[in-house]
């Protein structure tokens, strides 16, 4: 009888899991999760918090089907071959990942296992299309989103993404010595800075499907009108579930496929799924995309190194209410509304002149959906240095952005409560309030809430001057 290791990675579910399904259909299964301590980029704190709870949910689902999820920490290049030898494993299956370091490691592991007469197979468990499956007629890969997504949609007409298979009802499991989940030390303790996260999230495969179906029942049809309003529950908040693979994009696609092309809100939402695919497309084809600007002239951009300014941005103490609301939402919930992500990123890059990598690394540590491909793609988009990037001269005005997308100040009042008693016309620019207005609101600028740390109009001019110095290089 075939004995197979199924190595769970960013596919922490049982439904639509082709590696697990094939292993279950062919014999006994050793389900494994490895906390990769050999990875050159350790997981961020918020990611680890979510991962702990996601693994606990997955372990319970596997246990309910008669098997056990085994936990390890270390280098997969060592752990998996040792497990194969010790337990007479004949096959190893895993879901593919698309980052340069991971591809290199997986290629080496596959060769090592095959040399030991272990059969290896990898599967697409996280994308609608593999990065190499969507290619332009000229050039190696798409560098602009719109034709990329158009090509994806056309490919779906020719061959629809695989229909998700249901979770197995039983798993004939193998047993091995392994650590308890708690031994992976994923949860913060002293201090437990994530204690407020639990009121905002349900985690695991069942929670992911529940969240998506609630969104798809109604809000998806309003998505194009509500997605930019941070005070409105207008988005799916599915990003962490997709990142950890608690739900697959194929499941999302097949839930709505029959209505694609008939509703603007639904189509706009599916474009966001397409942007996720595009991020993986870029990071697969551009080897140093995670570490360097894709547009080489940005290597010569003049950045400032200001630890005090960066700390004020991190803590939501910039003096610009929409920026501060976003940064505080991030710290309190592990998530930030997408429109506000663009605003706070633009402020860091184009008002404070701090390198996008510093912001990307902070998001990596604090977002529960800290996906390398999409995090980097988003920051490079705002910086103007990536593929299909927003032009650098597009500088988000934090005042007008707040007035447009949070006109009544509801989002600001939730996350910057010291401003809650200011009227709507002043809440986005409290420095323009009269002393009488501030007194009525119980605010002393510079004490209860900071004065603006920079003059945006002057910073915008400086940003454009710095860009003009490198744009022709």
Query: Could you give the residue numbers annotated as active site?
Result: 272, 275, 303, 338, 356, 379
C-beta pairs of 465-472 under 8 Å, 24+ apart in sequence: 466/301, 466/302, 466/353, 467/301, 467/384, 467/392, 467/393, 469/302, 470/297, 470/298, 470/300, 470/301, 471/297, 471/392, 472/297
User: Is the bond preceding residue 191 a cis peptide, omega within 30 degrees?
Assistant: yes
- Return the C-alpha torsion angle 438, 443, 449, 451, nearest 10: 30
* Helix, strand or coil, per DSSP, at residue 289: coil
Give the CA diameter of the chain: 81
Q: What radius of gyration, in Å, describes the C-alpha atoms of the chain?
A: 24
Angle between helices 249-256 and 205-217 (to 10 degrees): 30
Q: Which two tokens stand for residue 455?
A: 């003059």
Angle of helix 145-158 relative to helix 264-285, nearest 10 degrees, comes to 110
The span from the CA of 212 to the CA of 215, in Å, is 5
Q: How far is the first Cα of the chain from the last one, in angstroms, to the nearest whole number?
A: 63
The secondary structure of the chain in percent helix, strand, coil, rounded to multiples of 5, reads: 50, 10, 40
Task: Provide the 10 A C-beta neighbour count for residue 86.
Answer: 10
Q: How far apart, in whole angstroms, are the C-alpha atoms of residue 382 and residue 384? A: 5
SS3 354: strand
CA distance 381 to 356: 10
CB neighbours of 385 closer than 8 A, spacing ≥ 6? 293, 294, 295, 298, 356, 392
> Could you tell me if residue 382 is left (phi over 0), alpha (psi between -120 and 50 degrees) or otherwise beta?
alpha
Structure token pair of residue 464: 């454009």
CA-to-CA distance for 234 and 337, rounded, in angstroms? 10
């Amino acid at each position: 009888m075939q004995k197979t290791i199924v190595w769970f990675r960013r596919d922490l579910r049982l439904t639509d899991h082709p590696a697990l399904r094939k292993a279950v259909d062919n014999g006994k299964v050793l389900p494994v999760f490895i906390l990769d301590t050999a990875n050159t980029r350790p997981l961020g704190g918020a990611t680890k918090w979510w991962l702990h709870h996601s693994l606990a949910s997955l372990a319970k689902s596997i246990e309910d089907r008669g098997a056990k999820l085994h936990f390890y920490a270390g280098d997969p290049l060592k752990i998996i071959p040792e497990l194969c030898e010790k337990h007479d494993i004949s096959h190893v299956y895993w879901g593919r990942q698309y980052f340069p370091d991971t591809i290199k490691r997986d290629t080496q592991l596959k060769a090592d296992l095959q040399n030991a007469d272990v059969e290896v197979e990898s599967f697409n468990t996280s994308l609608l299309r593999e990065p190499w499956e969507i290619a332009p007629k000229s050039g190696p890969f798409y560098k602009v989103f719109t034709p990329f997504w158009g090509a994806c949609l056309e490919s779906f007409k020719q061959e629809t993404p695989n229909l998700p298979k249901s979770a197995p009802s039983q798993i004939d499991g193998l047993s091995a010595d392994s650590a308890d989940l708690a031994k992976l030390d994923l949860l913060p303790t002293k201090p437990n800075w994530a204690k407020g996260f639990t009121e905002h999230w349900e985690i695991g495969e069942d929670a992911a499907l529940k969240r998506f179906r609630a969104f798809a029942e109604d809000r998806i049809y309003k998505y194009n009108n509500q997605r930019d309003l941070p005070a409105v529950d207008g988005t799916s908040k599915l990003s962490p579930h997709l990142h950890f693979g608690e739900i697959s994009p194929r499941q999302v696609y097949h839930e709505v496929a029959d209505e694609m092309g008939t509703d603007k809100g639904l189509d706009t939402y599916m474009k966001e799924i397409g942007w996720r695919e595009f991020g993986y497309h870029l990071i697969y084809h551009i080897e140093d995309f995670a570490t360097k600007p894709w547009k080489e002239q940005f290597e010569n951009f003049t950045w400032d190194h200001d630890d005090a300014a960066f700390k004020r941005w991190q803590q939501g103490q910039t003096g610009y209410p929409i920026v501060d609301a976003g940064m505080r939402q991030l710290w309190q919930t592990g998530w930030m509304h997408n429109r506000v992500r663009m605003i706070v990123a633009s402020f860091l890059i184009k008002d404070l002149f701090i390198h996008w990598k510093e912001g990307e690394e902070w998001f990596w540590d604090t977002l529960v959906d800290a996906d390398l491909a999409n995090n980097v793609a988003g920051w490079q988009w705002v910086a103007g240095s990536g593929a299909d990037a927003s032009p650098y001269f597009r500088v988000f005005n934090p005042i007008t952005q707040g007035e447009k997308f949070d006109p009544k100040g509801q989002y600001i009042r939730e996350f910057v409560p010291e401003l809650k008693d200011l009227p709507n016309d002043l809440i986005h620019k409290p420095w323009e309030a009269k002393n009488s207005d501030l007194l009525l609101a119980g605010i002393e600028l510079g004490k209860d809430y900071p004065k603006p740390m920079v003059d945006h109009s002057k910073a915008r001019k400086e940003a454009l001057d710095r860009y003009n110095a490198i744009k022709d290089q």
